[in-house]
Amino acid sequence: MSEAIKTDVLIIGAGPCGLFAVFELGLLDIKAHLIDILDKVGGQCAELYPEKPIYDIPGVPMVTGQGLTEQLMEQIKPFSPTFHLGEMVEKLEKIGDPGFRVTTDAGKVFECKVVVIAAGGGSFQPKRPPVPGIEAYEGTSVFYAVRKMEQFRDKHVVIVGGGDSALDWTLNLHPLAKRVTLVHRRDDFRAAPHSVEQMRALVASGKMDLRIGQVSALEGSNGQLSAATIKGNDNAVETVPCEMMLPFFGLTMKLGPVAEWGIALEHNLVPVETSAFETSVPGIFAIGDINTYPGKIKLILCGFHEGALMAQKAHRYVYPEKRLVFQYTTSSSSLQKKLGVN
């Protein structure tokens, strides 16, 4: 076992809520290390919708998933958090009161006074559609998220699904792709009605295609797709050109090791009280999508609020002898000094 890395707080998950928690903790002189399974920060925002606009971050009329991630990284810079990316937290043990030992799958060991679980839906994995041989094209022609829209320029793109992701990417990619074909198993969509209307207008004006049925076979070689066979609900079979395929069949939220950490769980979520978002184990907090409480909404802004309240209580564990005086960043010269703006 490697020598333990000591820190005040260990944050599990570097999604938006984990990142903002660094800021709230930093204002209170609490140092944090963050661990994430992904090889980059930003959680769902960076992994699932980096180029999609978000409209409900307070005071920010519009920012993309990647843009928000970058702004959060800029905002927490003064607190120099340490990131351990590409590692999964496997073990969480109680070693003090409070005091915890955390071990990753890479064998790294941390000892800390407080643990903040900001693990979102756990390790999220896209559901693979039941198309024979699809694995051979994954990462080259078949993608479960759009990282770079440019990859799809002048390509025949087949998008499969009927939810928001399928409809949003249909609308976003059709001006750029050579042709977009949307395939859904029924002529009824779960996506936002406005998106469905826009898609139907594009189909009516001949700018894209809609097929009701399922992709039953793929053609191509060396990982490069060339065509997809679509079996209609009337059993009619059609082959359409397909160089890129985007199946959106939802995500499997694999809670993963969180379930083995001795914390009470409720439907694969971590129940918390709402004055500090602490779990059933004192010193372990849960913020963002991973937690549950009456009235919980899985919104980024809710996770930010949870991080602010968590930090106030974490301060008591990290500095039991110090009284915490509430201060505004606008008027406190000591907070401004920490932020490097004064």
Residues that bind ligand FAD (CB under 6 A): 12-18, 35-38, 43-45, 48-49, 54, 56, 88-89, 118-123, 165, 256-257, 288-289, 298-301, 303
CB 304 → ligand FAD: shortest distance, Å? Answer: 9
CB 94 → ligand FAD: shortest distance, Å? Answer: 17
Cα–Cα–Cα angle for 63, 64, 68, rounded to 5 degrees: 70
Q: Which residues pair with 137 in a beta bridge?
A: none
The answer to whether residues 215 and 129 touch, using CB atoms and an 8 Å cutoff, is yes
CB 44 → ligand FAD: shortest distance, Å? Answer: 4
Q: Which is nearer to ligand FAD, 41 or 225 (CB)?
A: 41
CB 20 → ligand FAD: shortest distance, Å? Answer: 8
Residues written for the chain: 342
Coil/strand/helix, residue 232: strand
Whole-number Å distance between alpha carbons of 342 and 337? 5
DSSP one-letter code for 171: H
Cis status of the peptide bond prior to 78, with omega within 30 of 0: no
Q: Which residue is nearest to ligand FAD (CB)?
A: 120
Question: Residue 74 CB: number of other CB atoms within 10 A?
Answer: 9
Between the CA of residue 102 and those of 83, 114, 146, 206, 261, what are the distances in Å? 14, 11, 33, 56, 10
Q: Which is nearer to ligand FAD, 17 or 167 (CB)?
A: 17
Between the CA of residue 225 and those of 44, 184, 230, 237, 240, what are the distances in Å? 27, 19, 14, 18, 11
Q: Which is nearer to ligand FAD, 123 or 181 (CB)?
A: 123
Q: How do 82-85 and 32-36 pair as beta strands?
A: parallel
Half-sphere exposure of 202 (CA within 13 A, CB side): 21
Q: Which is nearer to ligand FAD, 223 or 250 (CB)?
A: 250
Half-sphere exposure of 41 (CA within 13 A, CB side): 25
Q: Which is nearer to ligand FAD, 219 or 273 (CB)?
A: 273
Q: Which is nearer to ligand FAD, 34 or 242 (CB)?
A: 34
Q: Which is nearer to ligand FAD, 1 or 297 (CB)?
A: 297
CB 228 → ligand FAD: shortest distance, Å? Answer: 24
CB 222 → ligand FAD: shortest distance, Å? Answer: 31
CB 89 → ligand FAD: shortest distance, Å? Answer: 4
